[in-house]
Amino acid sequence: MSGNERATVVVDGMALAKELREQLRQEVAARVARGHRPPCLAVVLVGDNPASLSYIKGKRRACERAGMRSVEHDLPATASQAEVEALVAQLSADAAVDGILVQLPLPKPLDAASVIEAMDPAKDVDGLHPQNAGRLLAGLPGLRPCTPLGILEVLGRHGVSLEGVHAVVVGRSNLVGKPVALLLLERNATVTLCHSRTRDLAAVCREADVLVAAAGSPLLVKGDWIKPGAAVVDVGVNVVEGQQVGDVDFDGALGRASILTPSRGGVGPLTITMLLHNTLMAHRRRTGA
């Protein structure tokens, strides 16, 4: 190792997720032993998008292993907006359901925002309802989106200090970029939120002590965009020539970043873990401590 080179800690998201899921399993078991019913997550799938089917399978398995119930509601891709919203409203009114997850993306021409608005915000375990988004903006407690929570967990578990540091987030989606920027701000980081119109993205990234890449653009962030010692979280999941790659040039980041999440086995396992966390949180609020 020479000059700017340093040992980069490659984050093992699977190991971290396993540890957190075991803690959640124990908490669920303790609640059930005290006489509560197990937390219940209702999953709504519209159509048969193969990627969605695979994500849902992973979520169902994770729920079962944590001792939670997962109930799937499948609608055909031809379902109307009114049918999907009626199902979400019915699950919102169902006292046996703690959390509702509508698997995105929805088939065209369904309007996902309107479906999410039809949901009881107290059951919105994806943290996407405008009321939960607003509560995050206002610094009020509420359900937060899962991937941003997972990113904060990774940084916290690796001892990355956020107080006063410059955090750069690439991507401004409601699902990842905006909420993670707000969570970083809440932890007193100085946050720059970048997007496709940002001028000289490379220069902005080079200023980052903490860099979160959530653009969905393969290998966008080059090794020499990374300030030596920066903590780098690569959220991107892209498939190039049959291979999964992130938004960060992984090999270029090695030896520069202090910690680095790989595209596969990095943030992904934490996202599902935070879904379990949110379902338990919603259950706790509904059934009492």
- Sites of contact with ligand NAP (CB under 6 A): 147, 170-173, 175-177, 194-198, 201, 214-217, 220, 235-238, 267-268, 271
**In terms of CB distance, is 13 or 255 closer to ligand NAP?**
13
Quickly count: other Cβ atoms within 10 Å of residue 220's Cβ.
Answer: 21
Instruction: Give CA angle at 146 (175, 260), nearest 5°.
Output: 90
Assess contact for 219 and 248: CB atoms under 8 A. Answer: yes
**In terms of CB distance, is 165 or 170 closer to ligand NAP?**
170
Least distance CB 124 / ligand NAP (angstroms): 16
Instruction: Return d(Cα 86, Cα 102) in angstroms, integer.
Output: 13
Assess contact for 265 and 235: CB atoms under 8 A. Answer: no
**In terms of CB distance, is 201 or 230 closer to ligand NAP?**
201
Positions marked active-site: 59, 103, 126
161-164: list long-range contacts, CB under 8 Å, 24+ apart. 162/187, 162/188, 162/189, 162/210, 163/187, 163/188, 163/189, 164/188, 164/189, 164/190
**In terms of CB distance, is 97 or 248 closer to ligand NAP?**
248
Least distance CB 135 / ligand NAP (angstroms): 20
Where do we find the tokens 């309107």? 114
Least distance CB 272 / ligand NAP (angstroms): 8
**In terms of CB distance, is 97 or 103 closer to ligand NAP?**
103
User: What is the 3-class SS of 185-217, one letter each residue?
Assistant: HHCCCEEEEECCCCCCHHHHHHCCCEEEECCCC
> Nearest CA to 134 among 144, 149, 119, 125?
144
Least distance CB 13 / ligand NAP (angstroms): 9
Least distance CB 196 / ligand NAP (angstroms): 3
